């Protein structure tokens, strides 16, 4: 099943922009299923503010990282994206660079109100 992996900074950008995640993902990528790793969920839980975590947890499937991915969140997301050909919702410049170099796709917040599929 095709999914979009959620990165911590990508989720924060979506919330700050007030984007309807379901509608925006369907419009930008045609994908409605979202997933995140335990490390992303943990990072989000340590942040302050209304990040709509209850909604995220009810919508997303928590996917365990690959054994070889290590502990760094970006490595876990990158390896899952590569293995499954899933885009990552992120605004992280370094992660986007890595995805680009590997011909993988990502979704980013643009114009502070829309999502755009890259790659």
pLDDT at 112 over 80: no
Mean pLDDT for the stretch of residues 74-93: 98
Rounded distance between C-alpha atoms, residue 8 and residue 87, angstroms: 14
pLDDT in tens, 86-106: 999 999 999 999 999 999 999
Question: Domains along the chain?
Answer: 4-118 (3.40.50.1010)
| pLDDT digits 0-9 by tens, 18-71 | 999 999 999 999 999 999 999 999 999 999 999 999 999 999 999 999 999 999
Contact 105, 117 (CB under 8 A): yes
**Count of C-beta atoms within a 10 Å radius of residue 82:** 15
What's the rounded Cα separation, in Å, for the pair 47 and 114? 23
Is pLDDT above 80 for 108? yes
Burial status of residue 117 (CB atoms within 10 A of its CB: 0-12, 13-18, 19 or more): middle
């Amino acid at each position: 099943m095709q999914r979009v992996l959620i990165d911590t900074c990508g989720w924060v950008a979506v919330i700050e922009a007030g984007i309807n995640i379901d509608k925006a993902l369907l419009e930008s990528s045609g994908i409605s299923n979202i997933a995140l790793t335990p490390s992303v969920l943990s990072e989000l839980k340590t942040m302050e503010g209304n990040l709509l975590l209850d909604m995220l947890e009810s919508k997303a499937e928590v996917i365990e990282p690959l054994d070889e991915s290590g502990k760094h969140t970006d490595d876990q997301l990158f390896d899952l994206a590569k293995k499954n050909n899933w885009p990552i919702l992120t605004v992280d410049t370094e992660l986007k660079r890595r995805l680009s170099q590997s011909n993988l796709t990502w979704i980013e917040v643009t114009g502070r109100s829309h999502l755009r599929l890259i790659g």
